Amino acid sequence: VGVELGARRYDVRIGSFTADEVAGMLAAALGADVTGVAVLVDGGLAACSPRVAPLVAALAGRLPRVARHDLPAGEACKNLAEIERTAEWLAQNGYDRRGAVIGIGGGATTDHAGFAASIYLRGVRFALCPTTLLAMVDASVGGKTGVDLPAGKNLVGAFHQPRAVIADLGFLDTLPPRERIAGLAEVVKCGFIADPALLAAMEAWGGAGAPAAAAAYRPLVAGAVRVKAAVVAEDEHEGGRRAILNFGHTVGHALEAASGYALLHGEAVSLGMIAALSLGRARGITPEPLQARARRLLKDVGLPVDLEARLDASVLARVGVDKKRQGAKIRFVFCAAAGDARLEDVTAGDLASHFLTSPGAGPGGARAIGDDEGHG
C-alpha cells in the first residue's frame, strides 16, 4: 500500500516474509548512501519472538554498521528519559546524518523510534517493522511520532515520515490474544469511517471470534492501512479530514485514562465507538440498524461494549482535556452509514445531557472542553 506524500511517499508492505526478505526491502528503502543502521527493538518482543535475532542478523548482512539497542517493553519506552538514552547511544555509536533508525516493535516502539529519528542530528531517516496488530494498522503509518509526559500521553512529538513500513504478519504469532483483539478495534473503526468491506470480512468470522492464524489478518491489515494512507495523503498534518481517524477516540481516550490504562487502547476505542454511535443516533445521524450492527460485531470479535457500566461524570470530565483545545466546541466524529464518517461540533453540555441521564450522575461533571488528541 502506497502512502502518497509526493517526494516523501513510501510503501507499507504487508505479508508473511522471511527475515532476508524484510532486510532486503528495508535496505532498498533506506538507500545506498546509508552509513550505519541503529535497530531499536521492543524488549518484550525481543524476549518472546524468535523472529528478532534472524532479522537483525539479516540486516547486518546487507547494511553497514548495524547495531541493536533494546528498549523497555511497550509504553515504558515512550518518555523523554528513554529518548535521551537512545540519542546518547546513537551518538556514542557514531551515527552521522546519513545514519538510519529501524524500529521493531509495537506502537510504543515505533513512536519512540520515529521521534528519536526526527530529532537526532535534527532528523535522520527511519523505517519501521510493526509487530502488534495495532502498530501494523495504525501507529506505524502516517508519520506521527512522539512520547508521553507525566502530564499526559503523546504530548511531545513531531511529524516525521518513515522510508518504509514492513508489516510481517509472522510477528503476530507471539502476540497475546488480548492485544490482537484490541488491534481489531482500529480495523472496525476503519470499516465504519471508510470501508464497509472490512466490516463484512470480520462479520464472516461469525461468533467464532478473531482467528489465531496470522495470515488471516492480511486483508484486514491491508484494508485498514489503505484507509489510513488515503486519509493521511489528503491531510498529512491533521488540519481537517484526518480527524475522522478519531472516530471512537474522544470518549475512548477518556475511558482509557480513567481506567488508569487498565483498558487497552483498542478496548477503550471499542467503547468509544459505542458512545459515538449512541450520540449519533440521538442526533439523527446514525440509524438504529447501524448501531446494532456495530455492537454485535465488536462483541463477536471479543471487544467490550458495556459502555453504560463504565461511563460516568468523572470520565466525561476528561473529554477535551487534551492538548489541542479548540474553544468551547469538541469536534466529534459520527457515523451516518458504514463507510460514511461525519465531523460535527458538540459541546461538553451535549455530551453530559446525553450520557448522564441516570439519577445519581449529578450535574456539572463535564467541565473541560477541547479537541480530542487522537493519534490518526
Ligand X SMILES: NC(=O)c1ccc[n+]([C@@H]2O[C@H](COP(=O)([O-])OP(=O)(O)OC[C@H]3O[C@@H](n4cnc5c(N)ncnc54)[C@H](O)[C@@H]3O)[C@@H](O)[C@H]2O)c1
- Cβ atoms 263, 255 nearer than 8 A: yes
Whether 228 sits among the annotated catalytic residues: the reply is yes
329 is catalytic: no
- Report which of 179, 151, 159 is spatially closest to residue 79, judged by C-alpha positions: 151
118 binds ligand X (CB under 6 A): no
C-alpha 242/C-alpha 231 separation (Å) is 6
Question: Catalytic site residue 21?
Answer: no
Question: Exactly one of 160, 189, 226, 228 is catalytic; which is it?
Answer: 228
- Catalytic-role residue among 82, 163, 246, 375: 246
Q: State the Cα–Cα distance between residues 29 and 237, nearest whole angstrom.
A: 23
Q: Of the candidates 318, 279, 275, which has an alpha carbon nearest to the alpha carbon of residue 298?
A: 275
The single-letter DSSP state of residue 32 is: T
CB of 128: closest distance to ligand X in angstroms? 10
Alpha helices in 75-195 (DSSP H): 80-92, 107-119, 133-134, 177-193
Q: Does 276 bind ligand X (CB under 6 A)?
A: no
**Measured between alpha carbons, how far is 257 from 239 in angstroms, rounded to an integer?**
25
Check if 246 is active-site.
yes
* Spatial contact of 244 and 341, defined as CB atoms under 8 Å apart: yes
Which member of 27, 40, 73, 229 binds ligand X (CB under 6 A)? 73
373 binds ligand X (CB under 6 A): no
Binding characters for ligand X, 214-253, by CB under 6 A (x = yes)? ----------------------------------------
The answer to whether 237 is a known catalytic residue is: no
Q: DSSP letters along 207-238, please?
A: GG-S-S-GGGGHHHHHHHHHHHHHHHHH-TT-
Identify the residue among 70, 82, 138, 371 touching ligand X (CB under 6 A): 138
d(CA 290, CA 332): 18
Among 30, 34, 58, 78, binds ligand X (CB under 6 A): 78
Q: What kind and span of H or E run contains 197?
A: helix 196-203
- Work out whether 144 is an interface residue with ligand X (CB under 6 A): yes
What span, in angstroms and rounded, lies between the C-alpha atoms of 327 and 248?
A: 21
The residue count for binding ligand X (CB under 6 A) is 31
Nearer to ligand X, 143 or 365 (CB): 143
Q: Quick check: helix, strand or coil at residue 40?
A: strand
Exactly one of 75, 238, 322, 372 binds ligand X (CB under 6 A); which one? 75
Interface stretch with ligand X, choices 101-109, 190-198, 249-257, 338-346 (CB under 6 A): 101-109
Instruction: Point out the catalytic residue in the list 68, 78, 144, 160.
Output: 144
Contact mark string toward ligand X, 163..182, x via CB under 6 A? --------x--xx---x---
- How is residue 146 written as a grid cell? 512522539
Q: Which is nearer to ligand X, 9 or 296 (CB)?
A: 9
Residue with nearest beta carbon to ligand X: 107
Does residue 186 have an active-site annotation?
Answer: yes
Q: Which of 13, 189, 249, 331 is catalytic?
A: 249
Q: Which of 28, 48, 200, 328 is in the footprint of ligand X by CB under 6 A?
A: 48
249 included as an active-site residue: yes
What the block records as the C-alpha cell of 243 is 480527524
Q: How far is the CB of 138 from ligand X (least distance, A)?
A: 4
Distance, in Å, from the CA atom of 143 to the CA atom of 361, rounded to the nearest integer, reads: 40
Q: What's the closest the beta carbon of residue 213 comes to ligand X, in angstroms? A: 15
The set of cell numbers assigned to 308 is: 453504560
CA angle 304, 134, 315 (to 5 degrees): 45
Contacting ligand X (CB under 6 A), which of 36, 44, 304, 365? 44
Task: Give the H or E element holding residue 165.
Answer: strand 164-168
Q: Is 49 in the site for ligand X (CB under 6 A)?
A: yes
The C-alpha atoms of residue 11 and residue 313 are separated, in whole angstroms, by 43
Per CB under 6 A, residues contacting ligand X are 42, 44-45, 48-49, 73-75, 78, 105-109, 111, 131-132, 134-135, 138-139, 142, 144, 153-154, 171, 174-175, 179, 265, 375
- Residues known to be catalytic: 122, 144, 186, 228, 238, 242, 246, 249, 253, 265
